[in-house]
Amino acid sequence: MPEPAATRRVHRAGSDVGSGTGSGAGSDVGSDVGSDVGSDGGSGAGSDVWEIRWFPSIDSTNRYLLDEARAGAPDGVVAVTDHQHAGRGRLGRTWEAAPGSALLVSVLLRPVLAPERLGLLTMAAGIALADALRTVAGIDARLKWPNDLVVGDRKLAGLLAEADLGAGEVRAVVVGAGCNLAVDAFPAELADVATSVAGESGGPGGPGGSGGSGGAGDRDALLDAFLGALDGRLAALDAVPAAYRERSATLGRRVRVELGATGALVGTAVDLTGTGALVVRDDDGVEHTVSVGDVVHLRPA
């Protein structure tokens, strides 16, 4: 198991409570995983601290936290890295970014949540990252179902949630996010389909006009804003579908949903269910509820 180069702890209210070098794992992070879901519809789990573990390089922050979860790590552990050499995306795809050019982060959660509601966690993380981008960089990112953030139709960030399930119960969920910060976060040939915080913030400066191009200061500001916003969204999961609808880049669009071996569905995205599934009305007026699939935004006919 790799050891982080540095660890810092942040109160879930948003204030630093200490930092240091070395792993620092498990020193003072509590967890109340067994709590019940509250009346506000929150996830019902969480420590009062984010323990942020930083790695110069790692194969995959999601893989690391899944292993940590199985070894007993508490809710609230966060892994962030300058470079992933085996980053993962949906459907077995890889996530690649030049070292230091992106926010690459995963968060370990131990929610008290029915398996059918797990999609709300990815949605909450997407909204939180959009909140953070607006706060830190003034960027109005929209949510492309199921797990991308886009500006126009260019991808700015992606999310991947992976769960540790057993006996029909959710033991742990790791939500990973990768957000392009610098203009060199992706190959030049992807410029028509990808974008970055630096590119969208109006010049060479990174978030907040700091003059960087996706450096550590930019990343840390966005990370802290993301974690702060995620707290709020996790505390009110029942409100997540409505908030997602407001930020959606997919609803109202004509789409093609790739369904793997069963083919594809073409129609108009018309709604989201309370658990985050996409409702698509086909050309015959029949509505289909899609829980898993890859969405392509189509140009108007």
Supply the DSSP string of 239-301, one letter for each residue: GHHHHHHHHBSSTTSEEEEE-GGG-EEEEEEEEE-TTS-EEEEETTS-EEEESS-EEEEPPP-
Residues lower than pLDDT 50 in the chain: 14-40, 90-91, 204-213
Q: Say what the pLDDT of residue 21 is.
A: 43
Dump pLDDT digits (tens) for 149-203.
999 999 999 999 999 988 878 999 999 999 999 988 888 888 899 999 999 986 5
**What does the alpha-carbon distance between residue 134 and residue 65 come to, in Å, rounded to a whole number?**
27
Planar angle of CA 243, 246, 250, nearest 5 degrees? 115
Q: Say what the pLDDT of residue 212 is.
A: 41
Q: Say what the pLDDT of residue 260 is.
A: 86
Q: Say what the pLDDT of residue 9 is.
A: 93
Q: Say what the pLDDT of residue 86 is.
A: 66
Q: Say what the pLDDT of residue 36 is.
A: 32
Radius of gyration of the chain from Cα atoms?
19
Q: Say what the pLDDT of residue 39 is.
A: 37
| All domains in the chain, ordered by first residue | 6-246 (3.30.930.10), 250-297 (2.30.30.100)
**What does the alpha-carbon distance between residue 90 and residue 212 come to, in Å, rounded to a whole number?**
30
Q: Say what the pLDDT of residue 23 is.
A: 36
Answer whether 125's CB lies under 8 Å from 161's CB. Answer: yes
Q: Say what the pLDDT of residue 30 is.
A: 27
Dump pLDDT digits (tens) for 271-298.
999 999 999 999 999 999 999 999 999 9
The predicted model scores a pTM of 0.85
Note if the bond before 56 is cis, omega within 30 degrees: no
Q: Say what the pLDDT of residue 26 is.
A: 30
